[in-house]
Amino acid sequence: MTGLTGSLSSIGVGLVVCGAGYSIAKLSARAMDNMARQPEVGARIQTVMIIAAALIEGIALFGAVICLVVR
């Protein structure tokens, strides 16, 4: 059972990392689009983007820790 649990845990960590990477890439792309359309609010968009990226990373770290603890 340990081998199967370890394998599934590794797959879970991989999915967490892929999901976080995709989310941050999507967030960055949308932020760049909006900054190109409205340069005057670029600083506010950048601040909100950094906060959102940090929250996404926190969730990803939490998910990765859970997957590794299950192992």
CATH number of the domain that residue 58 is part of:
1.20.20.10
Backbone CA torsion sign across 24, 27, 30, 35: negative
* Residues 6, 41: Cα–Cα separation, whole Å: 47
Give me the domain span that covers residue 14: 2-70
* Residues 8, 33: Cα–Cα separation, whole Å: 37
pTM for the model: 0.80
Which residue's entry shows tokens 């940090």? Answer: 54
Contact 26, 56 (CB under 8 A): no
Q: pLDDT tens across 17-48, in order?
A: 899 999 999 999 999 999 999 999 999 999 99
The tally of domains found in the chain comes to 1
